[in-house]
Amino acid sequence: MRGPTVAKAAGYVVISPAEAYRKPLAPVTVDCHVHLFPERLFRAIRRWFDGVGWEIPYPHPHDEVLSALKGFGVHEVWALTYAHRPGTAEGLNAWMSDIARSEPMVRGFFTVHPEDDDPRSIAEQAMDEHGLEGMKLHAEVQNLAVDDPRLDGVFDVLEERRAPCVLHTGDAPYPYTKENLDVARVAVRLKRNPALVAVIAHLGANQTAAYLELTREYNGLHLEVSFTNFPGRKESGLPDYGSLAPYADRLLFGSDFPNLIFTYADQADAWWNLDWVKNDAAMFFGGRARHLLPPRD
């Protein structure tokens, strides 16, 4: 395992190996937000993070990522990727399928791009031929809006099959909302696909309150909590974490591993330290995510 580095952006001076790989007190069994990419692409992603001052203490090769998570006590991960440009989704999906077939802890998710010729057929191939179980879109990185009509067929298939999609659609860390990142775009999508099983990444920050309000109308809408509650968090626009208790049945634990600027244990335990999370621990840290996917044979 490669050694941790300085994580200035998180407010730490140095994250030691003992800190970085400490097993959390939180009983995390399923992590619904883990990134796996082919080596060349992940190296490019890390170079981008280096350029904005993030010094990440964790490795990125998929075998090392999964080994670290096993050490944290995690049994299962939703493995996420996304197509940065058109024409790359099919290759990424095939790669993810190979990982999921060889690694029992991996529940592989596919991706599409709205500029591909037939996104729906790519989604169907990903599920029917590659055995992938859900979809990930990153509205910011992919420069898309989830209500784009070119994605209608993809979301129709997901809705028909009750397959979950993880949607990075919030506007954090921006102090303003980009048009394609407005919660209103998700509301339009849900109006068209009301039975969609959608998991909004990062609590939809900084539009959390609006997303929570939408959960009252759409039973399939959930939020995951990655990168929102950790030591040194200074982001505005997030609610008091105690106020989330009434929505516990719609919240799932995700980490965004390995792209962290703090330790895995710090993030997991920040949630574990909340009384309402402890009361819901089995579901929050894994059970709810398991219920959103079919059981393993």
Task: Using the structure block, give the residue that is written with the tokens 């179980």.
Answer: 133
What is the predicted pLDDT for the residue at 7? 38
- Residue 235, pLDDT score: 58
pLDDT category of residue 9 using cuts at 50, 70 and 90: very low
User: What is the average pLDDT score of the chain?
Assistant: 92
Res. 105 pLDDT band, cuts 50 70 90? very high
Segment 115-125 mean pLDDT: 97
pLDDT reading at 26 higher than 90 = yes
- Would you say the pTM of this structure is higher than 0.85? yes
174: confidence class by pLDDT, cuts 50, 70, 90: confident
Under the banding of pLDDT at 50, 70 and 90, the label for residue 4 is: very low
Compare 26 and 2 and report the one with higher pLDDT: 26
Average pLDDT over residues 134-159: 97
pLDDT tens by residue, 268-279:
999 999 999 999
Confidence of residue 198 (pLDDT cuts 50, 70, 90): very high
Res. 14 pLDDT band, cuts 50 70 90: low
Query: What pLDDT was estimated at residue 2?
Result: 37
Q: How many CB atoms lie within 10 A of CB 229?
A: 20
Q: Please compute, for residue 175, the number of CA atoms within 13 A of its CA located in the half-sphere on the CB side.
A: 1
| Domains contained in the chain, CATH given | 19-291 (3.20.20.140)
Whether the per-residue pLDDT at 48 is higher than 50: the answer is: yes
For residues 120-126, average pLDDT: 98
Over range 54-68, report the average pLDDT: 92
Query: Which pLDDT score, from 0 to 100, does residue 204 have?
Result: 96
**Residue 190 pLDDT > 70, yes or no?**
yes
Q: 205 in the Ramachandran plot: left (φ > 0), alpha (ψ -120 to 50) or beta? A: beta
Q: Which residues pair with 79 in a beta bridge?
A: 34, 108
Mean pLDDT in residue range 219-239: 84
Rounded-to-integer distance, Cα 150 and Cα 119, Å = 8
